[in-house]
Amino acid sequence: MTETFLRSRKIQMLLVAAGTAVAGEFKINPFDGDIFRIALGSSAFLLFLLLLRDLPCLKTGVLTGIVVLLFRVGLDVFWPNHEPLFLSFCNHISAAVYYIVFGAALKFVRRLDHVHPLLLGGAAACVDFISNEAELLTRMLVLGTSSFHLNEWTYLSLIAILRTYFTTGIYSSVAIYRMRAVQAEQQRRVDQMLNFGSGLYGEVFYLRKSVDTVERLTAGSYELYRDLKSSGKTGYSRRLLDITQQIHEVKKDSQRILAGLLKLSELDAAEADMPLSQMANFSLKSNREYAEMLGKEIAFEQMVTVNYRTACYIPLLALLNNLVANAVEAIPHTGTVGLRIYEVKGMTRFVVQDDGRGLDEADREIVFEPGFTTKLDEGGTAATGIGLSHVRDIVNSFGGRIEVKSPFTGTGTVFEVSIPTISIQRGDGD
Protein backbone atom coordinates (compact mmCIF):
# COMPACT_ATOMS: atom_id res chain seq x y z
CA MET A 1 0.00 0.00 0.00
CA THR A 2 2.87 2.38 0.86
CA GLU A 3 4.57 1.62 -2.48
CA THR A 4 1.35 2.37 -4.38
CA PHE A 5 0.99 5.60 -2.42
CA LEU A 6 4.51 6.74 -3.32
CA ARG A 7 3.94 5.91 -6.99
CA SER A 8 1.07 8.39 -7.21
CA ARG A 9 2.09 11.20 -9.55
CA LYS A 10 0.59 13.93 -7.34
CA ILE A 11 2.36 12.57 -4.27
CA GLN A 12 5.65 12.43 -6.18
CA MET A 13 5.21 16.03 -7.34
CA LEU A 14 4.53 17.13 -3.77
CA LEU A 15 7.59 15.26 -2.49
CA VAL A 16 9.74 16.88 -5.19
CA ALA A 17 8.43 20.30 -4.23
CA ALA A 18 9.02 19.70 -0.52
CA GLY A 19 12.50 18.23 -1.08
CA THR A 20 13.47 21.17 -3.30
CA ALA A 21 12.22 23.67 -0.71
CA VAL A 22 14.29 22.07 2.04
CA ALA A 23 17.37 21.71 -0.19
CA GLY A 24 17.04 25.38 -1.12
CA GLU A 25 17.83 26.39 2.45
CA PHE A 26 21.33 24.99 2.05
CA LYS A 27 22.78 27.94 0.15
CA ILE A 28 25.63 30.32 -0.40
CA ASN A 29 25.45 34.03 -1.24
CA PRO A 30 28.18 34.88 -3.79
CA PHE A 31 27.25 38.57 -3.84
CA ASP A 32 26.90 41.13 -1.10
CA GLY A 33 23.58 41.11 0.69
CA ASP A 34 20.73 38.76 -0.08
CA ILE A 35 19.96 39.82 -3.63
CA PHE A 36 20.46 36.38 -5.13
CA ARG A 37 20.80 32.91 -3.63
CA ILE A 38 22.99 30.12 -4.98
CA ALA A 39 21.39 27.13 -3.32
CA LEU A 40 21.04 23.38 -3.65
CA GLY A 41 17.36 23.72 -4.46
CA SER A 42 17.83 24.03 -8.20
CA SER A 43 20.28 21.09 -8.22
CA ALA A 44 17.79 18.95 -6.31
CA PHE A 45 14.94 20.02 -8.59
CA LEU A 46 16.94 19.18 -11.73
CA LEU A 47 17.95 15.78 -10.35
CA PHE A 48 14.39 14.94 -9.34
CA LEU A 49 12.98 15.72 -12.78
CA LEU A 50 15.72 13.79 -14.57
CA LEU A 51 15.10 10.72 -12.44
CA LEU A 52 11.29 10.89 -12.29
CA ARG A 53 10.53 10.98 -15.98
CA ASP A 54 6.79 10.48 -15.57
CA LEU A 55 6.34 13.83 -13.83
CA PRO A 56 5.22 16.77 -16.01
CA CYS A 57 7.96 19.39 -15.86
CA LEU A 58 5.77 22.51 -16.05
CA LYS A 59 3.19 21.38 -13.48
CA THR A 60 5.93 20.20 -11.14
CA GLY A 61 7.72 23.52 -11.60
CA VAL A 62 4.58 25.47 -10.74
CA LEU A 63 3.87 23.37 -7.67
CA THR A 64 7.52 23.58 -6.57
CA GLY A 65 7.53 27.34 -7.01
CA ILE A 66 4.42 27.68 -4.83
CA VAL A 67 5.74 25.35 -2.15
CA VAL A 68 9.15 27.07 -2.08
CA LEU A 69 7.45 30.47 -1.79
CA LEU A 70 5.17 29.35 1.05
CA PHE A 71 8.04 27.57 2.81
CA ARG A 72 10.33 30.60 2.75
CA VAL A 73 7.57 33.03 3.68
CA GLY A 74 6.60 30.76 6.55
CA LEU A 75 10.17 30.70 7.81
CA ASP A 76 10.43 34.49 7.62
CA VAL A 77 7.10 35.18 9.28
CA PHE A 78 7.11 32.56 12.03
CA TRP A 79 10.81 31.93 12.58
CA PRO A 80 13.21 33.49 13.42
CA ASN A 81 12.86 37.13 12.27
CA HIS A 82 9.06 37.53 12.20
CA GLU A 83 9.21 39.66 9.05
CA PRO A 84 6.03 41.24 7.67
CA LEU A 85 4.08 38.88 5.43
CA PHE A 86 3.94 41.18 2.40
CA LEU A 87 7.64 42.02 2.54
CA SER A 88 8.57 38.37 2.75
CA PHE A 89 6.27 37.57 -0.16
CA CYS A 90 7.91 40.23 -2.30
CA ASN A 91 11.37 38.98 -1.40
CA HIS A 92 10.65 35.39 -2.39
CA ILE A 93 8.18 35.63 -5.29
CA SER A 94 11.17 35.63 -7.66
CA ALA A 95 12.16 32.16 -6.40
CA ALA A 96 8.75 30.86 -7.42
CA VAL A 97 9.24 32.35 -10.88
CA TYR A 98 12.67 30.68 -11.08
CA TYR A 99 11.24 27.17 -10.59
CA ILE A 100 8.31 27.77 -12.93
CA VAL A 101 10.62 28.90 -15.73
CA PHE A 102 13.08 26.12 -14.89
CA GLY A 103 10.34 23.47 -15.17
CA ALA A 104 9.01 24.91 -18.43
CA ALA A 105 12.46 24.99 -20.06
CA LEU A 106 13.49 21.61 -18.66
CA LYS A 107 10.61 20.01 -20.53
CA PHE A 108 12.70 20.25 -23.69
CA VAL A 109 16.05 19.42 -22.08
CA ARG A 110 14.82 16.20 -20.49
CA ARG A 111 14.37 14.73 -23.95
CA LEU A 112 18.17 14.86 -24.32
CA ASP A 113 18.94 12.53 -21.43
CA HIS A 114 19.96 9.82 -23.88
CA VAL A 115 22.76 11.96 -25.37
CA HIS A 116 26.27 12.46 -24.05
CA PRO A 117 26.36 13.72 -20.42
CA LEU A 118 28.40 16.77 -21.51
CA LEU A 119 25.66 17.88 -23.88
CA LEU A 120 23.01 17.23 -21.27
CA GLY A 121 24.95 19.27 -18.70
CA GLY A 122 25.39 22.12 -21.14
CA ALA A 123 21.68 22.21 -21.96
CA ALA A 124 20.80 22.13 -18.27
CA ALA A 125 23.24 24.99 -17.62
CA CYS A 126 21.41 27.07 -20.24
CA VAL A 127 18.12 26.31 -18.49
CA ASP A 128 19.62 27.36 -15.16
CA PHE A 129 20.94 30.60 -16.64
CA ILE A 130 17.60 31.45 -18.26
CA SER A 131 15.78 30.75 -14.99
CA ASN A 132 18.21 33.02 -13.14
CA GLU A 133 17.49 35.75 -15.70
CA ALA A 134 13.77 35.36 -15.06
CA GLU A 135 14.38 35.56 -11.32
CA LEU A 136 16.46 38.72 -11.68
CA LEU A 137 13.85 40.31 -13.91
CA THR A 138 11.14 39.54 -11.35
CA ARG A 139 13.24 41.09 -8.59
CA MET A 140 13.76 44.20 -10.70
CA LEU A 141 10.02 44.53 -11.28
CA VAL A 142 8.94 43.78 -7.71
CA LEU A 143 11.77 45.23 -5.59
CA GLY A 144 13.35 47.69 -8.03
CA THR A 145 16.81 46.14 -7.74
CA SER A 146 19.46 46.81 -10.37
CA SER A 147 21.03 44.18 -12.56
CA PHE A 148 24.49 42.76 -11.89
CA HIS A 149 27.73 44.02 -13.34
CA LEU A 150 29.55 42.07 -16.04
CA ASN A 151 31.88 40.29 -13.65
CA GLU A 152 28.90 39.22 -11.54
CA TRP A 153 27.13 37.86 -14.61
CA THR A 154 30.24 35.86 -15.49
CA TYR A 155 30.41 34.44 -11.98
CA LEU A 156 26.72 33.58 -12.12
CA SER A 157 27.21 31.71 -15.41
CA LEU A 158 30.13 29.78 -13.94
CA ILE A 159 28.06 28.77 -10.93
CA ALA A 160 25.26 27.58 -13.22
CA ILE A 161 27.67 25.45 -15.24
CA LEU A 162 29.32 23.89 -12.20
CA ARG A 163 26.00 23.24 -10.48
CA THR A 164 24.28 21.62 -13.47
CA TYR A 165 27.28 19.50 -14.46
CA PHE A 166 27.56 18.27 -10.88
CA THR A 167 23.87 17.33 -10.94
CA THR A 168 23.94 15.66 -14.36
CA GLY A 169 27.04 13.76 -13.23
CA ILE A 170 25.07 12.35 -10.30
CA TYR A 171 22.18 11.55 -12.65
CA SER A 172 24.52 9.76 -15.07
CA SER A 173 25.95 7.71 -12.20
CA VAL A 174 22.46 6.72 -11.08
CA ALA A 175 21.48 5.87 -14.67
CA ILE A 176 24.57 3.67 -15.07
CA TYR A 177 23.79 1.92 -11.78
CA ARG A 178 20.22 1.30 -12.93
CA MET A 179 21.43 -0.04 -16.27
CA ARG A 180 23.86 -2.40 -14.59
CA ALA A 181 21.16 -3.58 -12.19
CA VAL A 182 18.84 -4.30 -15.13
CA GLN A 183 21.62 -6.13 -16.98
CA ALA A 184 22.42 -8.18 -13.87
CA GLU A 185 18.75 -9.13 -13.48
CA GLN A 186 18.50 -10.04 -17.16
CA GLN A 187 21.65 -12.17 -16.88
CA ARG A 188 20.23 -13.89 -13.80
CA ARG A 189 17.07 -14.75 -15.71
CA VAL A 190 19.08 -15.99 -18.69
CA ASP A 191 21.08 -18.22 -16.35
CA GLN A 192 17.86 -19.54 -14.84
CA MET A 193 16.45 -20.28 -18.30
CA LEU A 194 19.66 -22.04 -19.36
CA ASN A 195 19.62 -24.16 -16.20
CA PHE A 196 15.97 -24.90 -16.79
CA GLY A 197 16.57 -25.71 -20.45
CA SER A 198 19.51 -28.04 -19.84
CA GLY A 199 17.64 -29.80 -17.04
CA LEU A 200 14.49 -30.08 -19.12
CA TYR A 201 16.51 -31.49 -22.01
CA GLY A 202 17.59 -34.38 -19.80
CA GLU A 203 14.04 -35.13 -18.79
CA VAL A 204 12.82 -34.98 -22.39
CA PHE A 205 15.72 -37.15 -23.53
CA TYR A 206 14.79 -39.92 -21.10
CA LEU A 207 11.07 -39.54 -21.66
CA ARG A 208 11.63 -39.97 -25.39
CA LYS A 209 13.59 -43.16 -24.71
CA SER A 210 10.82 -44.37 -22.41
CA VAL A 211 8.18 -43.72 -25.07
CA ASP A 212 10.18 -45.75 -27.60
CA THR A 213 10.57 -48.56 -25.07
CA VAL A 214 6.86 -48.57 -24.25
CA GLU A 215 6.04 -48.63 -27.96
CA ARG A 216 8.23 -51.70 -28.51
CA LEU A 217 6.73 -53.28 -25.40
CA THR A 218 3.22 -52.67 -26.72
CA ALA A 219 4.05 -54.25 -30.07
CA GLY A 220 5.70 -57.27 -28.46
CA SER A 221 2.83 -57.73 -26.03
CA TYR A 222 0.31 -57.66 -28.85
CA GLU A 223 2.28 -60.22 -30.83
CA LEU A 224 2.31 -62.49 -27.79
CA TYR A 225 -1.45 -62.03 -27.43
CA ARG A 226 -1.98 -63.16 -31.01
CA ASP A 227 0.23 -66.21 -30.47
CA LEU A 228 -1.66 -67.20 -27.30
CA LYS A 229 -4.98 -66.70 -29.02
CA SER A 230 -4.01 -68.81 -32.03
CA SER A 231 -2.83 -71.60 -29.72
CA GLY A 232 -6.23 -71.75 -28.02
CA LYS A 233 -5.21 -70.25 -24.68
CA THR A 234 -8.13 -67.86 -24.64
CA GLY A 235 -7.97 -67.01 -20.93
CA TYR A 236 -4.32 -66.04 -21.00
CA SER A 237 -4.70 -64.17 -24.29
CA ARG A 238 -7.60 -62.14 -22.93
CA ARG A 239 -5.66 -61.11 -19.84
CA LEU A 240 -2.66 -60.23 -21.96
CA LEU A 241 -4.84 -58.12 -24.26
CA ASP A 242 -6.05 -56.12 -21.25
CA ILE A 243 -2.44 -55.54 -20.19
CA THR A 244 -1.54 -54.52 -23.75
CA GLN A 245 -4.36 -51.98 -23.83
CA GLN A 246 -3.20 -50.49 -20.53
CA ILE A 247 0.36 -50.24 -21.83
CA HIS A 248 -1.00 -48.53 -24.94
CA GLU A 249 -2.79 -45.94 -22.77
CA VAL A 250 0.45 -45.29 -20.88
CA LYS A 251 2.21 -44.81 -24.22
CA LYS A 252 -0.38 -42.26 -25.41
CA ASP A 253 -0.17 -40.31 -22.14
CA SER A 254 3.61 -40.29 -22.35
CA GLN A 255 3.49 -39.07 -25.94
CA ARG A 256 1.19 -36.21 -24.96
CA ILE A 257 3.55 -35.21 -22.14
CA LEU A 258 6.53 -35.46 -24.47
CA ALA A 259 4.84 -33.26 -27.09
CA GLY A 260 4.12 -30.61 -24.46
CA LEU A 261 7.69 -30.65 -23.14
CA LEU A 262 9.13 -30.42 -26.65
CA LYS A 263 6.97 -27.39 -27.36
CA LEU A 264 7.93 -25.81 -24.04
CA SER A 265 11.65 -26.27 -24.49
CA GLU A 266 11.57 -25.58 -28.26
CA LEU A 267 14.23 -28.18 -28.74
CA ASP A 268 13.37 -28.76 -32.37
CA ALA A 269 13.56 -25.10 -33.37
CA ALA A 270 17.24 -24.53 -32.44
CA GLU A 271 17.26 -21.00 -33.90
CA ALA A 272 19.46 -19.58 -31.14
CA ASP A 273 23.12 -20.35 -30.71
CA MET A 274 25.94 -19.89 -28.20
CA PRO A 275 29.74 -19.86 -28.44
CA LEU A 276 31.59 -22.68 -26.72
CA SER A 277 33.40 -20.27 -24.37
CA GLN A 278 30.08 -18.93 -23.07
CA MET A 279 28.89 -22.49 -22.49
CA ALA A 280 32.03 -23.23 -20.50
CA ASN A 281 31.67 -20.03 -18.45
CA PHE A 282 28.06 -20.80 -17.62
CA SER A 283 28.77 -24.41 -16.66
CA LEU A 284 31.63 -23.46 -14.33
CA LYS A 285 29.65 -20.57 -12.83
CA SER A 286 26.68 -22.82 -12.04
CA ASN A 287 28.86 -25.52 -10.53
CA ARG A 288 30.88 -23.01 -8.54
CA GLU A 289 27.62 -22.08 -6.83
CA TYR A 290 26.86 -25.80 -6.44
CA ALA A 291 30.23 -26.35 -4.75
CA GLU A 292 29.57 -23.45 -2.37
CA MET A 293 26.19 -24.92 -1.53
CA LEU A 294 27.91 -28.22 -0.65
CA GLY A 295 30.41 -26.38 1.53
CA LYS A 296 33.42 -27.32 -0.62
CA GLU A 297 36.39 -25.15 -1.56
CA ILE A 298 37.00 -25.94 -5.21
CA ALA A 299 39.14 -24.04 -7.70
CA PHE A 300 37.80 -24.11 -11.26
CA GLU A 301 40.16 -23.92 -14.24
CA GLN A 302 39.19 -23.36 -17.85
CA MET A 303 40.90 -23.53 -21.24
CA VAL A 304 38.95 -23.03 -24.48
CA THR A 305 41.01 -22.98 -27.69
CA VAL A 306 38.12 -23.36 -30.15
CA ASN A 307 35.15 -21.03 -29.93
CA TYR A 308 32.68 -21.58 -32.75
CA ARG A 309 28.96 -21.08 -32.18
CA THR A 310 26.61 -24.02 -31.78
CA ALA A 311 22.85 -24.34 -31.91
CA CYS A 312 23.11 -27.50 -29.81
CA TYR A 313 24.04 -25.61 -26.65
CA ILE A 314 21.17 -27.02 -24.56
CA PRO A 315 22.18 -30.71 -24.84
CA LEU A 316 25.86 -29.75 -24.61
CA LEU A 317 25.16 -27.74 -21.46
CA ALA A 318 23.33 -30.75 -20.01
CA LEU A 319 26.40 -32.85 -20.85
CA LEU A 320 28.90 -30.40 -19.32
CA ASN A 321 26.79 -29.71 -16.23
CA ASN A 322 26.55 -33.42 -15.50
CA LEU A 323 30.29 -34.00 -15.92
CA VAL A 324 31.37 -30.93 -13.93
CA ALA A 325 28.81 -31.60 -11.18
CA ASN A 326 30.04 -35.20 -11.02
CA ALA A 327 33.60 -33.87 -10.60
CA VAL A 328 32.48 -31.52 -7.80
CA GLU A 329 30.77 -34.39 -6.00
CA ALA A 330 33.87 -36.57 -6.33
CA ILE A 331 36.01 -34.09 -4.36
CA PRO A 332 35.69 -34.62 -0.58
CA HIS A 333 36.39 -31.08 0.69
CA THR A 334 38.95 -29.12 -1.32
CA GLY A 335 40.32 -29.63 -4.79
CA THR A 336 40.43 -28.52 -8.40
CA VAL A 337 38.12 -29.07 -11.36
CA GLY A 338 39.35 -28.31 -14.86
CA LEU A 339 37.42 -27.92 -18.12
CA ARG A 340 39.18 -27.93 -21.50
CA ILE A 341 37.57 -27.54 -24.92
CA TYR A 342 39.69 -27.94 -28.04
CA GLU A 343 39.55 -29.44 -31.55
CA VAL A 344 41.65 -32.24 -33.02
CA LYS A 345 41.20 -33.61 -36.57
CA GLY A 346 37.57 -32.57 -36.95
CA MET A 347 36.62 -33.73 -33.44
CA THR A 348 35.69 -31.26 -30.70
CA ARG A 349 36.85 -32.54 -27.33
CA PHE A 350 35.36 -31.65 -23.96
CA VAL A 351 37.66 -32.75 -21.13
CA VAL A 352 36.61 -32.52 -17.47
CA GLN A 353 39.23 -33.40 -14.88
CA ASP A 354 39.18 -33.46 -11.09
CA ASP A 355 41.58 -34.43 -8.32
CA GLY A 356 38.99 -36.29 -6.29
CA ARG A 357 38.80 -39.90 -5.16
CA GLY A 358 39.30 -41.45 -8.58
CA LEU A 359 37.80 -44.70 -9.89
CA ASP A 360 38.75 -48.32 -9.45
CA GLU A 361 39.67 -50.29 -12.55
CA ALA A 362 36.50 -52.38 -12.24
CA ASP A 363 34.29 -49.31 -11.88
CA ARG A 364 35.60 -47.79 -15.10
CA GLU A 365 34.06 -50.66 -17.03
CA ILE A 366 30.53 -50.01 -15.71
CA VAL A 367 30.62 -46.29 -14.87
CA PHE A 368 28.18 -45.41 -17.69
CA GLU A 369 25.63 -48.09 -16.82
CA PRO A 370 22.28 -46.76 -15.51
CA GLY A 371 22.18 -46.94 -11.73
CA PHE A 372 25.95 -47.00 -11.21
CA THR A 373 27.19 -44.65 -8.47
CA THR A 374 30.00 -44.35 -5.98
CA LYS A 375 28.27 -41.62 -3.98
CA LEU A 376 26.44 -42.12 -0.69
CA ASP A 377 24.45 -39.51 1.20
CA GLU A 378 24.78 -38.89 4.94
CA GLY A 379 22.40 -41.74 5.66
CA GLY A 380 24.40 -44.18 3.56
CA THR A 381 21.87 -44.24 0.72
CA ALA A 382 23.28 -44.45 -2.80
CA ALA A 383 22.53 -41.78 -5.38
CA THR A 384 20.45 -42.62 -8.44
CA GLY A 385 23.49 -42.85 -10.72
CA ILE A 386 21.78 -41.81 -13.95
CA GLY A 387 23.95 -38.72 -14.69
CA LEU A 388 26.80 -40.45 -16.53
CA SER A 389 24.37 -42.73 -18.35
CA HIS A 390 22.63 -39.55 -19.48
CA VAL A 391 25.95 -38.09 -20.68
CA ARG A 392 26.77 -41.23 -22.66
CA ASP A 393 23.39 -41.17 -24.40
CA ILE A 394 23.79 -37.50 -25.36
CA VAL A 395 27.28 -38.16 -26.73
CA ASN A 396 25.98 -41.13 -28.73
CA SER A 397 23.17 -38.99 -30.16
CA PHE A 398 25.84 -36.76 -31.76
CA GLY A 399 27.84 -39.72 -33.06
CA GLY A 400 30.62 -39.14 -30.54
CA ARG A 401 32.36 -41.17 -27.86
CA ILE A 402 33.25 -40.76 -24.21
CA GLU A 403 36.18 -42.19 -22.28
CA VAL A 404 37.03 -42.19 -18.59
CA LYS A 405 40.56 -42.26 -17.27
CA SER A 406 41.73 -42.69 -13.70
CA PRO A 407 45.36 -43.82 -13.66
CA PHE A 408 45.51 -44.62 -9.97
CA THR A 409 42.86 -44.81 -7.28
CA GLY A 410 42.67 -41.57 -5.33
CA THR A 411 44.40 -39.43 -7.95
CA GLY A 412 41.33 -38.03 -9.70
CA THR A 413 39.31 -38.76 -12.80
CA VAL A 414 39.35 -37.49 -16.39
CA PHE A 415 36.30 -37.67 -18.64
CA GLU A 416 37.05 -37.04 -22.29
CA VAL A 417 34.18 -36.49 -24.74
CA SER A 418 34.87 -36.41 -28.48
CA ILE A 419 32.11 -35.20 -30.82
CA PRO A 420 32.37 -34.61 -34.58
CA THR A 421 32.60 -30.85 -35.02
CA ILE A 422 30.34 -30.95 -38.05
CA SER A 423 27.46 -32.33 -35.97
CA ILE A 424 27.40 -29.43 -33.47
CA GLN A 425 28.98 -26.45 -35.23
CA ARG A 426 26.61 -23.87 -36.62
CA GLY A 427 26.69 -23.73 -40.40
CA ASP A 428 27.95 -20.13 -40.67
CA GLY A 429 31.33 -21.06 -39.19
CA ASP A 430 33.22 -19.39 -36.38
**pLDDT tens digit sequence for 116-167:** 667 777 888 888 888 888 887 888 888 777 655 555 567 667 777 777 877 8
- Pick the residue with more confidence: 378 or 58? 58
Mean pLDDT (whole number) for 64-73? 90
pLDDT confidence band for 242 (50 / 70 / 90): confident
Position 10 scores a pLDDT of 85
Q: Which range has the worst mean pLDDT, 7-11, 40-44, 301-305? A: 7-11
Residues 6 or more apart whose CB falls under 8 angstroms from that of 77 comprise 83, 84, 85, 88
Q: Tell me: pLDDT of 236 over 80.
A: no
Position 410 scores a pLDDT of 57
* H-state helical runs in 266-373: 276-293, 313-330, 361-366
Percent of the chain with pLDDT over 70: 71
Position 349 scores a pLDDT of 93
Position 428 scores a pLDDT of 52
b/e burial code for range 238-272 (CB count within 10 A of at least 16 → b): eebbeebeebbeebeebeeebeebbeebebeeeee
Which residue, 72, 131, 134, 67, is CA-closest to 103?
131
Position 361 scores a pLDDT of 67
Q: How far is Cα 259 from Cα 173, in angstroms, rounded to an integer?
A: 48
Q: Tell me: pLDDT of 191 over 60.
A: yes
Residues 6 or more apart whose CB falls under 8 angstroms from that of 141 comprise none
- Pick the residue with more confidence: 16 or 142? 16
Mean pLDDT (whole number) for 379-391? 53
8 Å CB contact between 390 and 402: no
- Pick the residue with more confidence: 157 or 310? 310
Beta strand 334-344 with 297-304: parallel, antiparallel or unpaired? parallel
Strand partners, 300: 337
Highest mean pLDDT among 54-58, 146-150, 298-302: 298-302
Per the prediction, the chain carries an average pLDDT of 76
Which residue, 302, 308, 340, 313, is CA-closest to 427?
308
Position 64 scores a pLDDT of 92
Position 66 scores a pLDDT of 92
Mean pLDDT (whole number) for 192-209? 65
Position 340 scores a pLDDT of 93
The pLDDT tens digits for 328-373 are: 888 888 889 999 999 998 999 999 998 887 776 666 666 776 655 5
Q: Which range has the worst mean pLDDT, 347-361, 381-395, 408-422? A: 381-395
pLDDT confidence band for 429 (50 / 70 / 90): very low
Q: Tell me: pLDDT of 40 over 90.
A: no
Position 262 scores a pLDDT of 62
Residues 6 or more apart whose CB falls under 8 angstroms from that of 8 comprise none
Position 187 scores a pLDDT of 66
Q: Tell me: pLDDT of 300 over 70.
A: yes
